[in-house]
Chains A and B, each alone.
Chain A
Amino acid sequence: MIEPSLVYKALAYSSNIALMAAGITMIYMSTETFNFAHASKVSWGMYFVYTFYNFFGGHPYIYVPVAAILTGLIGVAMYLTFNRYLLKRGAGMITLMMSTLGADLILLALLNILADYLSRVHKLYSRQIRMEIYDFTVAGIPFSTLIALIIVVTLTASIHLFLTKTKFGIAMRATIENPNLAGILGINPELVYLTSWFIGGALAGLGGALLVFIMAGYPVIGQYLIVTMFAGSIVGGLYSIYGSLLGGFLVGLSEYLGIWWLSTLFGGKMLAYRQVIPLVAMVVALLFFPQGLGGIKWGKVAKVVRGERS
């Protein structure tokens, strides 16, 4: 039988992956930029919580929103320093992607410098951070699980409200769908891009900051998780925030529970292959369902299932 604690962890992990995947999709939808720097932003999210807690005390959970805002600002900085110019020049997808890789290397280097600084000057064990002990339970459910699920649900609802009910949200949708139209409507597309870089970055940091309560963090953890995040975003179809939330959740869940299942069947050795699951999910999605979950014609599937001819 599967342990309840494992299920809770799986739910928390998948929710956080969903947040990160939504961040990737957000930035990709508005600027066509596959953001490799998402990796380091997730790690930074973890380290923000860790560092602030060690310096200022209190409960580590209170630094989660701070971490999200700061990584959001990193996103804004990326947009303003280079992404903006590349978009203006009409640079191709590959150049856009490569430039974020450059940013990822810088963020990775800076994070390692921070980790070195914390360990050398402040004698903290910063190469591997463990904060699971600060998690607590609410009505028997770990707070890390509860808050992650609540955030995913609220986010889904609020993104819906934001994009359909607020003026700026509608403008944002218009800009993403047709940048020229936005100009005609008197919307500044740059503000829209800026906002999506902020939200996208914040989602990465938020996911990372929450993840630190269920697993050990280290400076390159983002580079390991990026594959799962991309997988979630791609399985979600890359052009839908809801799709990416769902895709990220499913990929995270299948990774967590899938490897648990495989290890009960074939032994603990299987745990090492954990990453293969999201990788396979991603490649299968790209090659066979390039439109992702959103692109599958569910009506047709239902017909086929019911045995009718399409």
Chain B
Amino acid sequence: MIELGQLYILIRYILIDFAISMIVTLSLNFELGIAAIAQFGRVLAVEIGAYVAGGLTGRILAYTIPELRQYSGAEYSNHLINFKLVDTINRTLLEHNALLSIGILILTLALAAIIGGIVGWLTSYPAIRLKEAYLGITLLAFGDVVMLIAQNYDPIVGATQGVSVPDPFRWARPYSFEAALIIALILAGLTFIFFEMLVRSPFGRALKAMRDDEVAAKVYGKDIVKLRTYALIIGSAFAAMAGAYYTMYIGSCKAFTYTRLTWTFWPWAFMMLGGTGNNVGIAVGVLIFVIVRTIIINYKTYLEPFVPFDPIWLEPMFVGVVIILLSVFRPQGLIPEKPAFTIKKRRIRSIIEIMRKQAS
């Protein structure tokens, strides 16, 4: 029997994991499902966002405190002093100031979005020149290179030791987790609404036209280079925000957390399960995976005595099997893409009824 308290904790984990994975997967879906860009380097923008939260926000805050100012440069991420710096920041600035904390949170997300957007813009260089798998592997390489550098070069986010991240949820103690969860859900909801609005706009329609038939899209006035670039900028900006938020919520930033497996391939699997091109499907896909993942992680101790291995490996096995089954039997996912109209269908009907009456 599960206790109520345990269940609550479990649901909390599921929901926050859901919210963050949702933002990443929605951004991936926008680039791949709508704009047909082979984004095999989702982790790139996510880790950039994480490094903004881990390496930039703290430095800015350290700079505002006179006695910490001297540490706001490269030595900020030295692991011997970093935890003290961040602790001071947390205690003196953030702990008792909810407004400032929220402000810092928003500032970090905004910075992550801007820098993530710039990274997205940079990746448009290969995205315009390469196709399909070739582009995918190039973007994958970009993500790996950046992680490799961050993992080894101290002044970014403290290399293998990592850095602590200023805690923008501390003011809500003892409900910090709840605060982080609620804000994450709000962000995920806003992201969902935003991408739905884009998909149901002439812009989204142009992207889908480009996806369906590039030559025809060009002939009908679509600037492919611009459309691809916009899609990459928007997608990367949101992925970076998700990375930044995740980092702030777990309170530390270690470069090796941001692997291509967790932040590129997992979102791909979520998207494939839910339905590529369909935001509602994405939500369903993410939810299913997150529930299964949390259950495996939380109940592996029960299974442990019965098997001669760590049950955690059942998770990649499950994801792998799902990916193969989906690609063979249901490439469109659980909830396939449906036509998304720019104007409400009812409104279209009423307009065309009037036109038909006039004609007859």
A–B interface present (Cβ within 8 A): yes
Residues of A near any B CB (own CB < 8 A): 34, 81-82, 85-86, 91-95, 97-99, 101-110, 112-113, 116-117, 120-121, 223, 227, 230, 234, 269, 272-273, 275-276, 279-280, 282-283, 286-287, 290
**Contacts of B86-142 to chain A: CB distance below 8 A:** 125-126, 129-130, 132-134, 136-138, 140-142
Partner of B328 from the list A82, A97, A272 (CB cut-off 8 Å) is A82
Evaluate contact between B142 and A106: CB separation under 8 angstroms.
Answer: no
Kindly list chain B residues whose C-beta atoms are within 8 Å of the C-beta of A86.
327-328
Evaluate contact between B308 and A121: CB separation under 8 angstroms.
Answer: yes
Evaluate contact between A95 and B327: CB separation under 8 angstroms.
Answer: yes
Of B44-52, B212-220, B310-318, B342-350, which stretch is located at the interface?
Answer: B310-318
Kindly list chain A residues whose C-beta atoms are within 8 Å of the C-beta of B327.
82, 86, 91, 95, 98-99, 102
Known contacts A109-B313, A276-B148: A98-B268 contact under CB 8 Å? yes
Any chain A CB within 8 A of the CB of B323? yes
Known contacts A116-B308, A283-B141: A106-B321 contact under CB 8 Å? yes
Kindly list chain B residues whose C-beta atoms are within 8 Å of the C-beta of A117.
308-309
Evaluate contact between A287 and B322: CB separation under 8 angstroms.
Answer: no
Measured between C-beta atoms, what is the minimum distance from B88 to chain A in Å? 30
Partner of B314 from the list A97, A109, A272, A287 (CB cut-off 8 Å) is A109
Measured between C-beta atoms, what is the minimum distance from A75 to chain B in Å? 15
Evaluate contact between B132 and A93: CB separation under 8 angstroms.
Answer: yes
Evaluate contact between A113 and B320: CB separation under 8 angstroms.
Answer: no
Kindly list chain A residues whose C-beta atoms are within 8 Å of the C-beta of B297.
none
Measured between C-beta atoms, what is the minimum distance from B267 to chain A in Å? 12
**Contacts of B319-351 to chain A: CB distance below 8 A:** 319-324, 327-328, 331
Any chain A CB within 8 A of the CB of B149? yes
Kindly list chain B residues whose C-beta atoms are within 8 Å of the C-beta of A279.
141, 144-145, 148
Kindly list chain B residues whose C-beta atoms are within 8 Å of the C-beta of A290.
130, 134
Partner of A101 from the list B130, B145, B265, B308 (CB cut-off 8 Å) is B265
Once bound together, how far apart are the Cα atoms of A198 and B189, in whole Å? 47
Known contacts A86-B327, A113-B309, A283-B126: A102-B320 contact under CB 8 Å? yes
Residue of B nearest to A107 (CB): B320
Kindly list chain A residues whose C-beta atoms are within 8 Å of the C-beta of B130.
286-287, 290
Evaluate contact between B138 and A286: CB separation under 8 angstroms.
Answer: yes
Kindly list chain A residues whose C-beta atoms are within 8 Å of the C-beta of B32.
94
Evaluate contact between A110 and B137: CB separation under 8 angstroms.
Answer: no
Kindly list chain A residues whose C-beta atoms are within 8 Å of the C-beta of B125.
287
Residues of B near any A CB (own CB < 8 A): 32, 38, 125-126, 129-130, 132-134, 136-138, 140-142, 144-145, 148-149, 151-152, 261, 265, 268-269, 272, 308-310, 313-317, 319-324, 327-328, 331
Kindly list chain A residues whose C-beta atoms are within 8 Å of the C-beta of B322.
102
Residue of A nearest to B40 (CB): A97
Partner of A112 from the list B138, B310, B320 (CB cut-off 8 Å) is B310
Once bound together, how far apart are the Cα atoms of A108 and B133, in whole Å? 22
Once bound together, how far apart are the Cα atoms of A121 and B307, in whole Å? 10
Once bound together, how far apart are the Cα atoms of A93 and B131, in whole Å? 10
* Shortest Cβ-Cβ A-B pairs, 3 listed: A102-B323, A105-B320, A116-B309
Evaluate contact between A99 and B144: CB separation under 8 angstroms.
Answer: no
Partner of B324 from the list A102, A269, A282 (CB cut-off 8 Å) is A102
Once bound together, how far apart are the Cα atoms of A120 and B182, in whole Å? 42
Evaluate contact between B319 and A105: CB separation under 8 angstroms.
Answer: yes
Known contacts A93-B133, A106-B316, A106-B317: A227-B331 contact under CB 8 Å? no
Residue of B nearest to A116 (CB): B309
Once bound together, how far apart are the Cα atoms of A168 and B38, in whole Å? 36
Kindly list chain B residues whose C-beta atoms are within 8 Å of the C-beta of A273.
148-149, 152
Measured between C-beta atoms, what is the minimum distance from B120 to chain A in Å? 17
Residue of A nearest to B261 (CB): A223
Residue of B nearest to A115 (CB): B309
Once bound together, how far apart are the Cα atoms of A69 and B129, in whole Å? 39
Residue of B nearest to A113 (CB): B309
Residue of A nearest to B331 (CB): A95
Evaluate contact between B126 and A287: CB separation under 8 angstroms.
Answer: yes
Once bound together, how far apart are the Cα atoms of A284 and B19, in whole Å? 37
Once bound together, how far apart are the Cα atoms of A103 and B317, in whole Å? 9
Partner of B321 from the list A93, A97, A102, A116 (CB cut-off 8 Å) is A102
Q: Which of A91, A95, A99 has the most CB of B within 10 A?
A: A99
Kindly list chain B residues whose C-beta atoms are within 8 Å of the C-beta of A272.
148, 151-152
Some 30 contacts from A to B, beta carbons below 8 A apart, are A34-B136, A82-B324, A93-B132, A94-B132, A95-B331, A99-B323, A101-B323, A102-B319, A102-B320, A102-B323, A103-B324, A106-B316, A106-B320, A107-B320, A108-B316, A109-B316, A109-B317, A112-B309, A116-B308, A116-B309, A116-B313, A227-B141, A227-B144, A279-B141, A279-B148, A282-B137, A286-B130, A286-B138, A287-B125, A290-B130
Evaluate contact between A234 and B149: CB separation under 8 angstroms.
Answer: no
Evaluate contact between A81 and B324: CB separation under 8 angstroms.
Answer: yes
Once bound together, how far apart are the Cα atoms of A117 and B313, in whole Å? 12
Measured between C-beta atoms, what is the minimum distance from B319 to chain A in Å? 5
Kindly list chain B residues whose C-beta atoms are within 8 Å of the C-beta of A92.
132
